[in-house]
């Protein structure tokens, strides 16, 4: 879909106007030097001037309508990735608009360009409605779970991988499944080229002096994480400074995560707040 060449409407009108005005503004002396102009010549100059002014508006409107239709089409392709057959009516209407524009039929060009825009808007609504009804594809659901599972292998936040995950979730919730799949593929490539360097981690459960003064020198261990994202079922306590084995991370959102740990003898394992974790250097 090519944008029509830049139209010279205003320049043509201004040149015609300047030429006609220069002739009309001649003084009587100049007119006498050039000879008396025939009445029909003055009429012809005025007719050309009025014609250019009258034509510039529909010429410009048609150009702008074609440009808007093309921009709409390009944006639609980039965000929706439609089936080629689905956009054939839009391409056909735009072709008719371009031909009408080139033939000087500006009203028809505007009509076909607006039909192109309306068709794309209706097609977008149809696609989004169908996606909401059908839901995300299985490969997107499973792939998102795999990315989250990989995030949970890291003790410290892997910011780039988590950024991919957040975009996948965001676009999925919007119904932009094709875009979500693109982010998923990027995340999977990142995982493949950035394997986890440490398979096990030893951490120390630590706490600030303010915490110790208020709650004592022990840290609570919880059995599970509720669906609402809270630690539940306290199963024990360990002393501040105790070495534990890192198992995995549970990411609740960008700002909240829990860490699953186990005692060195594996007799006690559960979840703690990430604020209590200090990595052994």
pLDDT digits (tens, 9 = 90+) for 142-187: 999 999 988 888 877 788 888 999 999 998 988 888 889 999 999 9
Tokens of 183: 């982010």
**Degrees (nearest 5) of the Cα angle 91, 97, 100?**
145
pLDDT given at position 153: 82
If we measure between CA atoms, which residue out of 60, 66, 70 comes closest to residue 109? 66
Mean pLDDT along residues 7-22: 36
Return the DSSP state at 200.
-
If we measure between CA atoms, which residue out of 195, 194, 150 comes closest to residue 168? 150
**What are the helix and strand counts (H, E) for the chain?**
9, 7
pLDDT given at position 240: 93
What is the set of domains in the chain, with CATH numbers?
9-133 (no CATH), 138-193 (no CATH), 201-279 (2.30.30.40)
pLDDT given at position 56: 61
Beta bridge partners of 263: 244
DSSP 12-62: HHHHHHHHHHHHHT--HHHHHHH-PPPHHHHHHHHHHHHHHHHHHHHHHHH
Task: Tell me the C-alpha distance between 62 and 14, whole Å.
Answer: 19
Return the DSSP state at 86.
G
If we measure between CA atoms, which residue out of 258, 265, 210, 211 comes closest to residue 242? 265
1 pLDDT tier (thresholds 50, 70, 90): very low
Q: How many CB atoms lie within 10 A of CB 274?
A: 16
Q: Which residue has the higher pLDDT, 73 or 14?
A: 73
Q: Is the pTM of this model over 0.75?
A: no
């Amino acid at each position: 879909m090519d944008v029509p060449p830049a139209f010279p409407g205003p320049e043509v009108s201004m040149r015609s106007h300047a030429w006609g005005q220069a002739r009309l503004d001649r003084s009587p002396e100049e007119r006498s030097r050039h000879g008396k102009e025939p009445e029909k010549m003055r009429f012809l100059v005025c007719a050309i001037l009025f014609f250019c002014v009258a034509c510039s508006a529909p010429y410009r409107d048609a150009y702008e309508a074609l440009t808007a239709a093309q921009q709409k089409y390009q944006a639609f392709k980039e965000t929706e990735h439609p089936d080629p057959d689905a956009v054939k009516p839009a391409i056909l209407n735009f072709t008719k608009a371009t031909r009408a524009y080139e033939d000087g039929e500006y009203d028809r060009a505007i009509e076909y360009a607006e039909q192109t825009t309306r068709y794309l808007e209706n097609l977008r609504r149809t696609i989004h409605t169908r996606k909401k009804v059908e839901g995300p594809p299985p490969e997107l659901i499973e792939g998102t779970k795999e990315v989250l599972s990989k995030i949970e292998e890291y003790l410290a936040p892997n910011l780039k991988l988590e950024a991919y995950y957040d975009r996948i979730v965001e676009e999925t919730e919007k119904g932009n499944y094709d875009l979500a799949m693109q982010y998923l593929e990027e995340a999977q490539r990142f995982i493949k080229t950035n394997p986890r360097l440490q398979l096990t981690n030893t951490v120390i459960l630590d706490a600030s002096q303010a915490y110790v003064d208020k709650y004592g020198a022990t840290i609570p261990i919880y059995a599970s994480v509720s669906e609402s994202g809270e630690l539940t079922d306290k199963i024990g306590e360990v002393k501040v400074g105790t070495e534990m084995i890192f198992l995995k991370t549970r990411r609740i959102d960008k700002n909240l995560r829990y860490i699953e740990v186990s005692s060195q003898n594996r007799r006690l394992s559960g979840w703690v707040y990430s604020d209590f974790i200090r990595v052994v250097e």
